[in-house]
Structures are given as structure tokens and as C-alpha cells.
């Protein structure tokens, strides 16, 4: 097994069954990132002195949080560190913990209202996704019971911009560690021009063909540059539609965040937001300026085989 770094993977959990989905994803990704796995539960208590504080009440809440964490210990594994923290906003508590520990990834579960195998976002997941200081991954509903225990294919949303280059580099690091294949998907779709009176009568075909040709060259070049098995495709259909289709064919989808978001702070755009809501596999969104995963040169599968020997 690879040695861990000082930049952990933090999994935010609550008392619901969905917590197991997030923990299962964390246990899979943490070794690939060479990271310590931290399971964190934020319980609803405000420690600020300006408010009335009850030591007894805080103790009861913390005991409930500890009990929740103990119930997840078997899923998380013996190496996981359990953390209970007081905060009336779970997302804020996770963000503060991630900043304090300089985490490289935050993981949360999707809403219980979603379909099995879908990453439909609940309030906490959406709040965790936006303005996170590090990458955020969302586990689909039921992932804890349906995960195969391996990532064989990683999908990358690629448009040739800096943010997708970072997503590709992050995904390539994971693919190297997990011995997985990369699947690059680029969308050259150009939305029809809409004026005040409706659609503007303009022939978009030449512009569409030029965009597709340019993107295809960038995708082909990116595929050639990878040190892992990689294939790419370019579509002229909307990016969200095609990324959701790809999410049914891969085990993890990696996306970049909005290019005008603050550096090292995740700001999901309309595409990543929509994909995370409906994806059929875990989705990882990478903030601008994030550091690449601290993966080693040797695949995790090889490390584990050597360790077992």
C-alpha cells in the first residue's frame, strides 16, 4: 500500500444510510491519492461565546456523533480517522476542516430523494460542492452496496481549456494509481443564437464544423500524451447530455470547475452542476489551481499485491 500524505481525503457523513455511500467512495479513492482517510460528522452545535452554550447538551450531541462514526468504522476500515465537529452548517464545518487539514478531496453523498445509482444533490451536498477549498466528489445513492470495489474507467470532461487540462491531469494521476483507462469526452456543441424575437436565422453549420475540428485535434493530442490507456471522442451534442451518457459507461467522472471562479476555490458551473445532479457514477469536480493528486509511480493494485506478499 502506498504511504499516505499529509493532505487527507475527508468524507462528510450524517446518520443516514447514505453515509455508507460516501465512505465506500472514500475508502476507494484515498489509497489512490496516497491519502489518509478522515470520516467527519458535523453535529448541530454552536460554540461561539455570543450564544448560550450548554456543556451537557454539547456532550449529548457529541456522543451521538461518536456513535454515528463508530457505526461506520467497519465500512471505513481500521486506518480511517474519525472526527466529530460542532457546526450548525455541515457544509461550513467540512470546509473549515478541509482548510485546516489542507485536504485534497472532500466526499459527500447524494440526496435520499434521488434514484438508486444517481448523484441527485441534496442541500448539504450542493453547499459542500460550491466554494469548497478542495476537490469535491459526490457518491451516487446506493453506491455503498453496488460499488464493485474497483475503478476500471475514468471519464474526463474535456474542452481544451485550462480547467479541463487540470481535470485531465488529476484523472490521469488517479488512472495511473488505479490502473484504470481514461475516457476523454469533448462537446463542440454551439447553442443556437437567441434574440429578443426568438431564434436568430443564422447558419451555424460552418461554425459548428470548425469548432468540432479544432476540439478533435486537441482531444487527439491529449490522448497521445497520456501514459495510461486512453481514448477520446468528440460529439456535437450538448455537453451535459453526453457527459451523463458517459457516466453510465465509466466508474468515475472528473470535471473542471468554472474558469472565472476564485483560484483554489471550487465554483461549479452550469455544466458540472447539472452533471453532478443526475450522473450514474461518482462525480469529482476539481477547483481552479488545485494541486494534482499525490499518487505514486506504482499502481495501487501492484502495491497491495506486494504488501500481501
Give yes or no for residue 277 having a pLDDT over 50.
Answer: yes
Q: Is 187 helix (H, G, I), strand (E, B) or coil?
A: strand
Mean pLDDT computed over 2-13: 81
H helices then E strands: how many in the chain?
11, 12
- The CA-CA-CA angle for residues 141, 31, 33, to 5°, reads 95
Length of the chain: 309
pLDDT in tens, 285-297: 987 654 545 444 4
Which structural domain range is residue 212 located in? 5-308
Q: 3-state SS of 136-195? A: EEEECCCHHHHCCCCCCEEEEECCCCHHHHHHHHHHHHHHHHHCCEEEEEEECCCCCCEE
Answer whether 149's CB lies under 8 Å from 180's CB.
Answer: no
Neighbours of 213 (CB within 10 A): 11
- What percent of the chain is modeled with pLDDT above 90? 45
pLDDT in tens, 121-169: 445 556 666 678 899 999 988 898 876 678 999 999 998 888 889 899 9
Q: Give residue 301's pLDDT.
A: 42
Q: Give residue 286's pLDDT.
A: 86
- The CA-CA-CA angle for residues 103, 89, 116, to 5°, reads 75
pLDDT in tens, 60-119: 888 888 889 999 999 999 999 999 988 888 888 899 999 999 999 999 988 644 444 444
Mean pLDDT computed over 240-263: 81
Answer whether 33's CB lies under 8 Å from 9's CB.
Answer: yes
Neighbours of 273 (CB within 10 A): 17
Neighbours of 265 (CB within 10 A): 17
Q: Give residue 26's pLDDT.
A: 96
Distance CA 206, CA 221 (A): 23
Task: Please give the tally of structural domains in the chain.
Answer: 1
Phi first, then psi: give them for residue 118, nearest 5 degrees: -120, 145
Q: Residues of 191-209 as b/e, b for ≥16 C-beta within 10 angstroms?
A: eeeeeeeeeeeeeeeeeee
Give yes or no for residue 302 having a pLDDT over 50.
Answer: no
Q: Give residue 307's pLDDT.
A: 36
Q: Give residue 235's pLDDT.
A: 93
Q: Give residue 119's pLDDT.
A: 47
Q: Give residue 272's pLDDT.
A: 77
pLDDT in tens, 173-212: 999 999 999 999 999 988 765 555 555 555 667 788 898 9
Q: Give residue 63's pLDDT.
A: 86
For residue 215, give Cα distances in angstroms to 164, 188, 195, 234: 12, 7, 27, 7
* C-alpha cell belonging to residue 255: 470535471
Answer whether 158's CB lies under 8 Å from 219's CB.
Answer: yes
Distance CA 166, CA 102 (A): 19
Strand order in the sheet with 105-109: 81-86, 35-43, 5-13, 105-109, 135-139, 283-286, 252-256, 153-157, 181-187, 230-235
Q: Residue 162: give its domain's CATH number.
A: 3.40.50.12370
Amino acid at each position: 500500500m502506498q504511504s499516505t500524505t499529509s493532505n487527507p481525503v475527508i468524507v462528510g457523513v450524517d446518520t443516514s444510510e447514505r453515509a455508507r455511500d460516501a465512505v465506500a467512495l472514500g475508502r476507494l479513492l484515498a489509497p489512490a491519492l496516497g491519502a489518509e482517510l478522515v470520516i467527519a460528522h458535523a453535529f448541530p452545535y454552536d460554540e461561539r461565546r455570543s450564544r448560550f452554550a450548554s456543556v451537557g447538551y454539547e456532550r449529548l450531541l457529541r456522543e451521538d456523533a461518536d456513535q454515528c462514526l463508530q457505526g461506520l468504522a467497519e465500512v471505513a476500515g481500521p486506518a480511517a480517522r474519525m472526527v466529530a465537529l460542532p457546526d450548525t452548517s455541515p457544509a461550513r464545518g467540512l470546509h473549515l476542516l478541509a482548510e485546516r487539514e489542507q485536504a485534497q478531496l472532500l466526499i459527500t453523498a447524494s440526496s435520499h430523494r434521488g434514484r438508486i445509482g444517481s448523484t441527485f444533490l441534496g442541500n448539504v451536498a450542493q453547499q459542500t460542492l460550491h466554494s469548497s477549498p478542495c476537490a469535491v466528489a459526490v457518491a451516487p445513492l446506493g453506491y455503498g452496496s453496488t460499488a464493485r470495489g474497483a475503478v476500471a474507467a475514468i471519464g474526463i470532461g474535456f474542452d481544451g481549456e485550462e480547467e479541463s487540462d487540470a481535470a485531465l491531469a488529476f484523472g490521469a494521476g488517479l488512472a495511473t494509481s488505479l490502473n484504470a483507462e481514461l475516457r476523454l469526452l469533448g462537446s463542440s456543441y454551439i447553442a443556437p443564437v437567441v434574440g429578443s424575437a426568438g431564434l436568430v436565422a443564422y447558419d451555424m453549420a460552418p461554425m459548428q464544423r470548425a469548432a468540432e475540428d479544432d476540439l478533435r485535434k486537441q482531444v487527439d493530442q491529449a490522448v497521445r500524451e497520456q501514459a495510461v490507456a486512453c481514448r477520446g471522442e468528440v460529439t456535437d451534442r450538448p455537453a451535459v447530455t453526453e457527459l451523463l451518457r458517459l457516466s453510465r459507461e465509466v466508474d468515475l467522472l472528473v470535471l473542471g470547475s468554472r474558469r472565472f471562479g476564485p483560484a483554489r476555490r471550487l465554483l461549479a458551473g452550469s455544466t458540472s452542476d447539472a452533471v453532478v445532479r443526475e450522473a450514474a457514477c461518482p462525480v469529482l469536480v476539481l477547483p481552479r489551481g488545485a494541486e494534482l493528486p499525490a499518487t505514486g509511480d506504482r499502481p495501487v493494485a501492484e502495491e497491495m499485491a506486494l504488501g500481501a506478499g
